[in-house]
Amino acid sequence: MGVGAWIMLLFGATLLWGGLVFFVAYYFRAGRR
Amino acid sequence: MGSAIGLGNIWRYPYVAYENGGGAFLIPYFIALLTAGIPILILEWSLGNKYRGAGPRAYWNLSRRWEWVGWWQVAGSFVISTYYMVILGWVLAYTYFSFGTQWGSDTEGFFTGDFLGVSDSFWSVGGFQLGVLLPVLIMWAVVYWLLARGINRGIELASRILIPALVVMILIVVIRGVTLPGASEGLNVLLTPDFGALATPGVWVAAYGQVFFSLSIAFSIMITYASYLPRESELSNSGLIMGLANSGFEFLAALGVFGVLGFLAVQQDVPVTEVVSDGVGLAFITFPQIINELPALNSLFGFLFFGALLFAGLTSAVSILEACVAAVREKFDLSRTMALNVVCGLAFVVSLLYVTKGGLYYLDTIDHFITNYGLALSGLVETVLVAWILRQVGPLREFINEGSFISVNYWWTIALNVLAPVALFFVVGFSLFTDLTEAYEGYPVSGLVLLGGGMAVGIIVVGFIFQAIKWRERRDAS
């Protein structure tokens, strides 16, 4: 895989899955309050 | 209640991304998600939650004159359910065919010839295809059974079991896919960014279109589901989670799909671009081919792939039909079973059309027209109506913020007032332009106008007819 492809893979993974994990975590934290 | 994940995630996104700048597509895609996808999703959740009802009831409560928009969307969902069930039938058949790769070496010949028995021209309907009818009947039985069990014991239970199973299956497919020899070739094609593509308007239209279709917006599904939630539920965060989960899933699935496409290309010694396809062709022609070529455990891989498609499709089919059932039940004050019988019975009869030998043509035509002029157009009307005509964005924003941890702020207002309607306008305009300049798939124009156009106009007419019918008094009227 080329460098560009790797960068986009990381970019997509961070934004989408990272975002998802973040908001799910937020949901549970806020839910307990 | 995660029923946004459907067949489109698995077989549409990879191809759209590849066509529109590869890795660079992620940028407009992500922008589209933030400016249109998630905001409209949150809007529909809040509409259903605030105005307490499935599509038509919610619109009626919003403003008496606009009930038809709700029925328009419900009618669209109904049309989609009729052919979606047939595709599910195909998937079920192929899950079965995976055992011992019963499709043989000529996968295309098997699909169009042996399995569907596609007739030679658009207008020759032919007879029923029994091999297709049987799995379609089974799927109808399963879906009917799930819906009959009600919201909690049927739909919710099914999602709770099927969605995790789906994710596990897709994960296995992806891990297998990216570890196959040649997978990196495929991933290269999928991910290598072509930033020049960002200057092309078509790429942006494709990004908005993809976000829109894959989130099942404007089906009236989200409005219906949100009406079952208690008042002042968490709305904005759920919207964010759902939007991201849906996109994360399709991104993941794309890796698997292009991994195995790279493998196939290397096996056949052709460039990856030669084997790329989407939709029905990808799932039922290219994938069986790939499964044939696998070094080991062919049947298991096939079973996992088609099983995943089946689960993804099943939850979506149930949610699409639920939107129709709920709307009919509320309007005519029927019992759930009665409404279910009416909707499913009608949808079943219509779905038989696609089980004929000419079925593939009709299915393809209807699918094309409903996504472009049913969903996208009614989504455009929906945003214009709420934002511009009734000016409800402000009040809804307050409503959402009462119950949510994450407040929606000015980006939501801007997205709904400006960005989403404008983007949708271009999506609809773009496809209208393409359809007017060339006949879709080279099908006869008479067929396209009659079936496709007729249906697109028909569901609007249905909207007005249903608006004209009076609401039956609710027994529990307060």
ipTM score assigned to the predicted complex: 0.79
pLDDT exceeds 60 at position B197: yes
Residues of chain B in contact with residue A14, where contact means CB-CB under 8 angstroms, are none
Backbone angles phi, psi at B474, to 5 degrees: -80, 135
> Looking at residues B428-451, what average pLDDT do you find?
77
Q: How far, in Å, CA of B359 to CA of B345, rounded?
A: 19
Amino acid at B388: W
Residue B9 and residue B210: Cα distance in Å, rounded? 9
Q: What is the pLDDT of residues B411-431, one digit of tens each?
A: 777 777 778 888 888 888 887
Instruction: Give CA–CA dist B446/B350, Å, rounded.
Output: 20
Amino acid letter for position B122:
F
B240 closest CB neighbour out of A7, A8, A23: A23
Compute the distance between CA of residue B69 and CA of residue B223 in angstroms, rounded to an integer. Answer: 13
Q: Give dist(CA B179, CA B175) in Å, integer.
A: 6
Residues B56, B62: Cα–Cα separation, whole Å: 10
- Between B74 and A27, the higher pLDDT residue: B74
Distance CA B215, CA B127 (A): 36
Read off φ and ψ for residue B165, nearest 5 degrees.
-60, -40
Residue B278: burial class (beta carbons within 10 Å; 0-12, 13-18, 19+): middle
User: Can you read off the two tokens belonging to residue B293?
Assistant: 């070529």
pLDDT digits (tens, 9 = 90+) for B336-351: 888 888 888 888 888 8
Q: Which of A14, A20, A22 to probe the B interface (max B CBs under 10 A)?
A: A20
* Token reading at B107: 């996968």
pLDDT at position B447 is 74
Cβ atoms within 10 A of the Cβ of B199, count? 9
The 3-state DSSP class for residue B392 equals coil
Shortest distance between the Cα of B112 and any Cα of chain A, in A, equals 35
CB contact under 8 A, B405 and A26: yes
Whether B195 has a pLDDT exceeding 60, the answer reads yes
What is the predicted pLDDT for the residue at B477? 42
CA distance B11 to B32: 19
